[in-house]
Amino acid sequence: MFGRKDKVDSKELTLVGSNSRVDGDINFLGRCHVDGTVNGNIKADLESESLLTIVGEGTIEGGVSVPYVELNGIVRGDVVASQRVKLGASARVIGNVYYNLIEMAIGAEINGKLIHQPEGQVPLLEQAKTKLDAPAKIVSAT
């Protein structure tokens, strides 16, 4: 993966073909290759070596949260890559990109923010969720 020997078993492959459409979330381990349409979120354990590849006409209508992402299709949602994201020339992201390392080709488009998250940092999305989940403080006006 990305210039080093893959630690992911090549038998662990999830495939969404070009004529396929998935309505719902995908949770995977290993590799996931999307050339069709997914209407839902795609997730893998951020501590794993899992790789998501979105190619050609591949489209994700939801968020992506995986360690490694190679994108040459479209994602309409936030992309969280705990390790590395590689955006090809035909990559389109309508949402924020949270990354540790990033590589972008000329022509890649991001309609959102690029947010650097060094390895080991608590992801900003989790920080925001923790703040939202915290009980509200009651302030009395006297």
Annotated domain spans of the chain: 13-133
State if pTM tops 0.75. yes
- Which of 13-17, 38-42, 70-74, 133-137 comes out lowest in average pLDDT? 133-137
Predicted pLDDT of residue 140? 47
Q: Measure the CA–CA gap between 67 and 84, rounded to whole angstroms.
A: 7
DSSP-H helix ranges across the chain: 124-133
pLDDT in tens, 50-63: 999 999 899 999 99
Mean pLDDT of the chain: 85
Predicted pLDDT of residue 128? 45
H or E stretch at 107: none
